[in-house]
A and B are shown apart, each in its own frame.
Chain A
């Protein structure tokens, strides 16, 4: 079990630049989640994939954010025209789960990408 891998671990960029993060889930996991965490707060849900289909997006995910999961394997999260408020830890999680219904399977998290906007 290699766990969930996220790259890069840290990203520092200037306001207005675009950034892209990558998440490699546990290989047999078909569900993938993105969360955002700011200092002192718990993670907040951003979006969810079942295989390659993006099935739910939070209202937190503005039109500057886009996530993809081509072929149902790794996923990318892109932020365009970054703003100061985008500074946070971006966490990816994956889990098993079949069908289109609720799953009680535990989520396995990566250690996140910390984004700092100058």
Chain B
């Protein structure tokens, strides 16, 4: 299974943008890139996903490299509520859609 690599932690000031990198050099041509986040004492929450083109939604933007070997989740203006663990996940098309989480990136937002 293709794996992802993320930094253990990142810090940001409130109202500043946050760029969360994810490396996935062994991604297959059919793998979608998904991002979930997990706030303290809660289950994971879907953030965004994409295949090749950059994607935007109300929560974040996803920038995908042209060779698809890396991607970046962008939180445009971090708030204290964005402090969470962010997971970059490749969806395996042969596995009924199960999610394979890594350790993720702990985002700390400072007022």
Interface residues of A (CB under 8 A from B): 4, 31, 33, 35, 40-45, 48, 50, 55-56, 91, 93, 95, 97, 102-112
Counting chain B residues whose Cβ lies within 8 A of the other chain, the interface size class is 20 to 34
The DSSP consensus for interface residues of chain B is: loop
- What is the CA–CA distance of A50 and B92 in the complex, to the nearest angstrom? 17
Is residue B97 contacting chain A, with contact meaning CB distance below 8 A? yes
Is residue B98 contacting chain A, with contact meaning CB distance below 8 A? yes
Chain A residues within 8 Å of B92, by CB:
102
- Contact (Cβ within 8 A) A95 B96: no
Cβ-closest chain A residue relative to B87: A42
Distance (whole angstroms) from the CB of A49 to the closest CB of chain B: 10
Which residues in chain B, 63-111, are within 8 Å of chain A measured between CB atoms?
Answer: 85, 87, 91-104
